[in-house]
Structure 1
């Protein structure tokens, strides 16, 4: 659920019954909240996570699901899409820095994660080296995502 000016809230009921919420804040932080069984509209912040702490938790819990979460985000924001672009063996960017692609500058799309086997590099830096077989999680317009594909093909 979109929280205007705040971020996104995800909710789920645990197998034991209580509802839990995760608020992904626009500033990069996260809040884990619990809901009162008697008043389901009332939440209590259980704890807060920095972006780095949330990345660590995501890796522990199965980070390949990050792409699914970005897909949820794109459903909430009109005009925004999520895509996955593979770095092929013959890509001129295999073995080079992510920043060398200039993908964001040239397309307006953002590479928000690199999936390498079972490992996920969330919020990759321009200094991260791309490898053949990497799958890039890209957020942007459909045209921007297609532009990233073209760049990686060379």
Structure 2
């Protein structure tokens, strides 16, 4: 197998790979993290059969699959856990506006976890029970569909 690297000014780097079987594959690594895979005709190494665009996460997952001799680790978002992550708005009508997060008793009542609160001034990861909610906040919740829906009703006061 041979690999050739070519700088692409203003774009990134192209890596051309010729497999032991004589197939030509290229990877164009853009500076912004995107990747493009190119597959070439066996009889004509300059004729591209197809290209596959990949974002940075997709490229990382593919690299992990190709590099690993063992079964690759599966990200939580790919597991069959039936969990959702959702932003729940805190409106001016919320009964919890101006009150500590702990008063919602979210986890006890719904099984959903509040993993962050997004505020105009910035995110607040892992807020404690004393964290006070404000109108305009968005609560980031993780749980079952039913649990997150119930949390949204609690925050909304419905």
Calculate the TM-score normalised by the size of structure 1: 0.53
**1: CA distance between counterparts of 2:87 and 2:142?**
9
Where does residue 15 of structure 1 map in the other structure? 31
Q: Name the one with the larger helix percent.
A: 1
User: 1:64-75 maps to which residues of 2 (within 5 A)?
Assistant: 73-75=76-78
**1: CA distance between counterparts of 2:95 and 2:32?**
50
Question: How much has 1:150 moved relative to structure 2?
Answer: 1.0
Task: Provide, for residues 11-51 of structure 1, a one-character-per-residue CA deviation record: whole Å limited to 9, x for no partner.
Answer: xx77398xxx9xxxxxxxxxxxxx9xxxx738xxxxxxxxx
Calculate the TM-score normalised by the size of structure 2: 0.52
Q: Aligned in 2, Cα 1:80/1:15: closer, same or farther, shift over 3 Å?
A: same
Q: What is the aligned length?
A: 95
Structure 1 contact 74–82 (Cα < 8 Å) conserved: no
Q: Aligned in 2, Cα 1:118/1:76: closer, same or farther, shift over 3 Å?
A: farther
Question: How much has 1:143 moved relative to structure 2?
Answer: 0.5
Unaligned runs of 5+ in 2: 1-28, 34-55, 57-62, 69-74
Unaligned runs of 5+ in 1: 1-12, 22-34, 43-71
Q: Aligned in 2, Cα 1:102/1:16: closer, same or farther, shift over 3 Å?
A: closer
Q: Aligned in 2, Cα 1:133/1:79: closer, same or farther, shift over 3 Å?
A: same
Per the alignment, in what secondary structure is the counterpart of residue 114 of structure 1?
Answer: strand
Give the counterpart of 1:76 among 57, 65, 79.
79
Question: How much has 1:76 moved relative to structure 2?
Answer: 3.2
Question: How much has 1:152 moved relative to structure 2?
Answer: 1.0
Give the counterpart of 1:90 among 83, 93, 99.
93
Kindly indicate whether residue 130 of structure 2 is the aligned counterpart of residue 114 of structure 1: no
Q: Aligned in 2, Cα 1:41/1:98: closer, same or farther, shift over 3 Å?
A: same
Q: Aligned in 2, Cα 1:77/1:116: closer, same or farther, shift over 3 Å?
A: farther
**2: CA distance between counterparts of 1:84 and 1:120?**
12
After superposition, the CA RMSD in angstroms is: 2.8
Please tell me whether Structure 1 or Structure 2 has the larger radius of gyration of its CA atoms.
Answer: 2
Per the alignment, in what secondary structure is the counterpart of residue 153 of structure 2?
Answer: helix
